[in-house]
Amino acid sequence: SLPVARTLMNWGHEVHFLTRPQMREAVEGTGAKFHSDLDWLSELYEDREPDIYGAFEALKHENGIPEDSFCNMICKLRTIANELMLPGLLRWLQSIRADAVMYCPMLNVEAVYGAELLGLESVALLTTAGPGSLERTMEEFMVACGQTVESIKAQLEVFEPHRAACKRFQEKYGIHISPMGILEPLGKISEMDKSYTTLVTTCDDLQDPMTPELEEAYERAGTRFEAVGPLLDEEGAKRCAGHTLSGAAAVTGSDEVVTKLREAKAAGRKAVLVSMGTVITGDQPVVGWKGLFQDADGNFRGLTGKQLCQAAWRGAFDAFGEASEEEGALILVSLGPQPDALEGLTVPPNAICLPVLPQVDLLRIGVDLFLTHGGQNSFTESLSCATPVVVCPGGGDQIVNARKAQALGVGLEVPRPFPEVGEEEQARNKYRSDVTAALKAVIASEAFSSKASECAERLRRCGGVVRAAEVMLEAADRRKQNVEVKLPAVGGA
């Protein structure tokens, strides 16, 4: 959304962000106005930890499910949290006199409810491979957590706090929320039905297909989708990168690393970019640096984010490390914010390892290979720059994109291992060697680069940032005029 905001500001419009304090510098770098969620969403954060995961942990205890897994917690408490966020969101939207709202349909559906109550149009920004991707993403996540769709639905059926919150939404706001939510049908975000359109950050033919049931459900609801391709910002733009829940986000711009890459290319050297993403290197529970997935019996198993990342980095060093700074390929590694990222690792002289890197700028200049976690933004950015990949997914849509990379012929997948207790060391060593082998195979074959170039051409035909900004103005022009908005009291949830 940052490049869209920058474009709208350049066109003379006013843009406001309601987001985490960690995002402030990057938001203000676009010229937009930053607003902290801690200041406005007081009903959610009062007497709770000042971050979304901390608030959810408090809600677990308040609602009698202190031992629930991460997957169960999100499904059971999402509507309760939305109910707490909505009053503050309404106050904020009224204070800035909004004309339209852009939101993330996976994380911020309360924005749809607020827009609807105030007579505003909303635009969803779906940063996955289209609506069909959500079913597979959820399936992969549930498998990793030892759950099934039916087991989660059975729990929602009998979890009274969730059903009571759905009922209060209907009684207080006249908004119907299905108790089963995104599970029925699996992968359908019903809130997108209410939006002017949903922008998808890939092209039509690179989207994951929808199941017949899901496609029929969206057609019946009249839900609109428009593929705009990757939303790439201008060179040197400040971008949010690695961050922790309590710390400030690192913000990237063009720097000396860009110069190093240009020099390496001028000298005829190859360049390899390595990034495992911002989630697994952050401190989110389960999916972060110290996180482990929990099976159906409540047991934690597998590799932590730290173990996975370090094994991948070691694999890259094994593949391309040299004895001097000027030899071999230039290795550029984005480490994330953890102070112990390189603990126990030997970094070769031809590698540059930093907490954050200007990823988009580096891809645009040109690297020969990208070791990526396979998040949709990184995956699409690499394809748009015709860069072949080795995908080392951490979870969710990354797993789907890793398989897609192989199917498209643009790279290879190295699956995340889930070893049994006591077998972690063996799993790390095998993963490291598998990463090394995949990197060597991809960089040695022109076939992967050729297929990536074909994908880049398809993505270039999309409207990109300019089209996304145009859609926001279309939505603003459709704002319901002269409609008396009657809101219930919003002082509390």
For tokens 């979890």, the residue is 159
Q: Which residues pair with 199 in a beta bridge?
A: 125, 226
Strand pairing report for 251-252 and 239-240:
antiparallel
Residue 416 exposed, middle or buried by CB count within 10 Å (0-12, 13-18, 19+) = buried
Residue 464 backbone zone (phi > 0: left; psi -120 to 50: alpha; other: beta) = left
For tokens 């080392």, the residue is 392
Task: State the Cα–Cα distance between residues 341 and 396, nearest whole angstrom.
Answer: 23
**Rounded (5°) CA angle 375-379-385:** 150
Q: How far is CA 380 from CA 34, 156, 383, in A?
A: 27, 35, 5
- Return averaged pLDDT per consecutive 10 residues of the chain, 493 residues in all: 96 96 92 97 94 91 90 92 97 96 95 96 95 88 83 94 96 94 92 96 93 96 96 78 55 76 97 95 85 74 94 98 96 96 97 95 96 95 97 90 95 94 94 98 97 95 95 88 47 33
Question: Is the preceding peptide bond at 185 cis, omega within 30 degrees of 0?
Answer: yes
Q: Quote the pLDDT of residue 242.
A: 55
In the DSSP assignment, the letter for residue 224 is -
Q: Quote the pLDDT of residue 445.
A: 97
pLDDT of 126-181, one tens digit each?
999 999 999 988 887 787 777 899 999 999 999 999 999 999 999 999 999 999 99
Both tokens assigned to 137: 């993403």
Residue 158 exposed, middle or buried by CB count within 10 Å (0-12, 13-18, 19+) = exposed
User: Whose CA is closest to 306, among 349, 346, 276?
Assistant: 276
Residue 143 — φ and ψ, nearest 5°? -60, -45
pTM score: 0.88
Q: Quote the pLDDT of residue 425.
A: 96
Sign of dihedral through CA atoms 4, 7, 9, 13?
negative
Q: Which uninterrupted H or E stretch holds 413?
A: strand 411-413
User: Whose CA is closest to 232, among 114, 378, 120, 367?
Assistant: 378
Task: State the Cα–Cα distance between residues 328 and 455, nearest whole angstrom.
Answer: 28
Task: State the Cα–Cα distance between residues 197 and 200, nearest whole angstrom.
Answer: 10
Q: Quote the pLDDT of residue 404.
A: 94
3-state secondary structure labels for all residues of 256-278:
HHHHHHHHHHHCCCCEEEEECCC
Both tokens assigned to 155: 């729990």
Both tokens assigned to 76: 């059971």
Both tokens assigned to 280: 């697994």
Q: Which uninterrupted H or E stretch holds 354?
A: strand 351-354
Sign of dihedral through CA atoms 467, 465, 274, 350?
positive
User: Whose CA is closest to 207, among 467, 402, 404?
Assistant: 404
Q: Quote the pLDDT of residue 236.
A: 74
